[in-house]
């Protein structure tokens, strides 16, 4: 059996099934002998087989339930109505197809048509609390 499969089995047992790593290391060989090397195979196995391997009813049920949970997540939905809708891409002024000049222009700050004197008068009025006709 490939070392990647052993690592996956140990990862499943210790992280998903919450079996202590020391126990998982000891039982990995027995699971291999029983041809239970993946969560899918464990989920299809009989509870009695797992009870013989783990010698603890609670741990055996824990492993079986975790395997069923993982296998259920991996199954692809067959009903088209249950499929999740595709995410729509937001319309953006910054397309990847735009040129650098177009990107720069889209990011430019707006310009004001007011003269410098009008702006000074405007801000003096705001500072004095007289209100603003523009805002």
Query: For residue 82, what pLDDT is reported?
Result: 57
pLDDT digits (tens, 9 = 90+) for 66-110: 888 888 876 655 555 555 667 766 655 555 677 888 888 888 887
Share of the chain above pLDDT 70, in %: 79
pLDDT digits (tens, 9 = 90+) for 46-66: 888 888 888 888 988 998 998
At residue 40, does pLDDT exceed 80? yes
Q: Count the neighbouring beta carbons within 10 Å of the beta carbon of residue 44.
A: 13
Q: Residue holding tokens 């499943």?
A: 12
Query: For residue 70, what pLDDT is reported?
Result: 85
Distance between CA 54 and CA 33 in Å, rounded?
Answer: 13
Query: For residue 9, what pLDDT is reported?
Result: 85
Query: For residue 89, what pLDDT is reported?
Result: 65
CB 106 within 8 A of CB 94: yes
User: Could you give the count of Cα atoms lying within 13 Å of 62 in the half-sphere of its Cβ?
Assistant: 17
């Amino acid at each position: 059996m490939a070392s990647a499969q052993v690592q996956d089995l140990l990862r499943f047992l210790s992280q998903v099934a919450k079996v202590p790593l020391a126990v998982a290391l000891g039982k990995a060989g027995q699971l291999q002998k029983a041809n239970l090397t993946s969560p899918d195979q464990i989920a299809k196995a009989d509870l009695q087989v797992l009870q013989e391997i783990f010698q603890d009813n609670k741990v055996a049920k824990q492993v079986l339930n975790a395997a069923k949970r993982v296998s259920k997540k991996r199954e692809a939905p067959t009903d088209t109505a249950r499929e999740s809708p595709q995410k729509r891409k937001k319309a953006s002024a910054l397309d990847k197809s735009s040129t650098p000049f177009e990107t720069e222009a889209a990011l430019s700050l707006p310009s004001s048509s007011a003269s410098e004197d009008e702006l000074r008068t405007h801000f003096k009025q705001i500072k004095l609390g007289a209100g603003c006709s523009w805002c």
